[in-house]
């Protein structure tokens, strides 16, 4: 049996994606079941280019830092591999490279599209009689994977968003003038991230005033009326919008005339907050700020949730253990058993149940007026942001792992 393992990271980074990587590496090292541990540079796309790094000999110091290092140290990609029944060129090349490296186990850390890759590769391997175990490890700040209670990366992103909105709201109150802050967060098809901003509200501060999510049809006229109503009650208004809010025709508010798409066919969004700001500025008040949290919300390790990092690490551990047990074509999922006390278990889910599907924010969490999130959602999300970590600092700044993975360490020239 081929005993080397290969790990890849795909899609948008998170604050805890490297914790899952460390989980796999730790089991691989401690179990001595795998001969060598390799990493893909830039996901499947990098592997197709022969870009692979050897992780077996990385220093214990770098691996220790890895758990709380944000973004994808191996690099990532959004490469869409087509179905092999339509074109098997990538598959033939990939499995040739895997055979050259004597890979018997492949781990892929990512979201919806990454699980699609796991699903396709596993199907191909089975059909061709190739003995390789392929395991998916969930990751996405969007929290939109089916068959798992929540996704690693979401808790930390939620913590950052709630903290940022809390700080923005305090800043908005320093002037004795009317003002509106429109804060845009990620979330193309689901409002999980926008919903998390409701955690900014406490017994000393009520914010944000409104939250608009993609699950609810967005009306600019209603948006203006909402702001107008709130400004009769207070001078400073803070609004949170998902980047993916849509009108009654199912068109993204932020797209405008853009027809640009990424490799997966997703339209590139132009910014909901900047699009909405002109409808308020000059009409209801002169001071309007459009704020895009953008990439900050997905890789803010200084605001990481300890629970999020711990669960991400455990998922990596469970994935490696499942592979050793002979499992393949599965994703390791989180099943919540209780909120208080918070308790979960880790289960295996056929990756075909997850690939290319989206878990949206349930209506039970959305208020009747369609512009706010209720307390039921708080019970769901609050446990996910709990805990702080002791990040290593050097010269006053966080110290993160590098592993030399993004330099020129290439094993194969394809």
> What is the phi/psi pair of residue 323, to 5°?
-65, -40
CA distance 261 to 243: 15
CB atoms within 10 A of CB 193: 27
CA distance 257 to 254: 9
DSSP 307-345: HHHHHHHHHHHHHHHHHHTT--SEEEEEEEEEETTEEEE
Which tokens in the block code for residue 79? Answer: 């490469």
**Cβ contacts of 204 within 8 Å, gap of 6 or more:** none
Which tokens in the block code for residue 268? Answer: 């590139």
Q: What is the DSSP letter of 269?
A: P
> Could you tell me which residues are beta bridge partners of residue 180?
237, 288
CA distance 80 to 105: 21
- C-alpha distances (whole Å) from 339 to each of 335, 342, 366, 376, 379 are 11, 4, 19, 11, 7
Q: What is the DSSP letter of 350?
A: E
> Annotated active-site positions, please?
142
**Cβ contacts of 382 within 8 Å, gap of 6 or more:** 199
Smallest Cα–Cα separation from 140: which of 244, 306, 12?
A: 12
Pairing, β 342-350 against β 330-339: antiparallel
Radius of gyration of the chain (CA): 22
Q: What is the DSSP letter of 304?
A: -
CA distance 116 to 276: 34
Cis geometry, peptide bond prior to residue 341 (ω within 30 degrees of 0): yes
């Amino acid at each position: 049996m081929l005993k080397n393992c290969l790990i890849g990271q795909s899609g948008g980074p998170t604050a805890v994606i490297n914790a899952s990587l460390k989980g796999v590496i730790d089991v691989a090292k401690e179990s001595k079941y795998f001969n060598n541990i390799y990493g893909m540079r830039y996901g499947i796309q990098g592997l197709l280019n022969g870009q692979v790094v050897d992780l077996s000999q990385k220093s214990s110091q770098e691996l220790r830092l890895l758990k709380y290092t944000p973004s994808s140290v191996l690099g990532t990609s959004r490469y869409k591999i087509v179905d092999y029944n339509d074109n098997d060129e990538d598959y033939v090349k990939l499995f040739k490279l895997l055979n050259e490296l004597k890979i018997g186990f492949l781990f892929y850390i990512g979201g919806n599209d990454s699980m699609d890759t796991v699903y396709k590769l596993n199907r191909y391997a089975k059909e061709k009689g190739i003995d390789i175990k392929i395991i998916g490890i969930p990751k996405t700040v969007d929290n939109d994977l089916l068959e798992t209670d929540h996704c690693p990366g979401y808790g930390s992103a939620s913590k950052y968003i709630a903290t940022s909105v809390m700080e923005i709201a305090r800043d908005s109150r320093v002037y004795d003038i009317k003002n509106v802050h429109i804060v845009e967060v990620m979330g193309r098809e689901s409002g999980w991230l926008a919903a998390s901003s409701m955690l900014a509200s406490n017994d000393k501060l009520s914010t944000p005033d409104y939250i608009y999510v993609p699950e609810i049809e967005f009306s600019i006229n209603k948006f203006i009326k909402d702001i107008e109503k709130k400004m009769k009650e207070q001078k400073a208004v803070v609004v949170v919008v998902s980047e993916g809010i849509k009108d009654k025709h199912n068109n993204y508010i932020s797209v405008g005339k853009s027809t640009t798409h990424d490799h997966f066919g997703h339209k590139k969004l132009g910014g909901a907050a900047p699009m909405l700001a002109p409808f308020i500025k000059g009409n209801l008040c002169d001071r309007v700020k459009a704020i895009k949290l953008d990439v900050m919300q997905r890789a803010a390790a200084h605001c990481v949730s300890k629970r999020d990092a711990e669960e991400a690490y455990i998922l990596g551990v469970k994935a490696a253990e499942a592979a050793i047990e002979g499992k393949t074509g599965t994703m390791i999922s989180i099943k919540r058993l209780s909120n208080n006390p918070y308790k979960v278990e880790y289960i295996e889910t056929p990756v075909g149940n997850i690939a290319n599907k989206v878990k949206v924010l349930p209506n039970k969490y959305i208020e009747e007026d369609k512009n706010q999130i209720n307390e039921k959602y708080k019970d769901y999300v609050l446990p996910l942001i709990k805990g702080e970590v002791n990040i290593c600092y050097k010269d006053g700044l966080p110290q993160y792992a590098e592993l030399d993975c993004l330099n020129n360490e290439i094993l194969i020239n394809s």
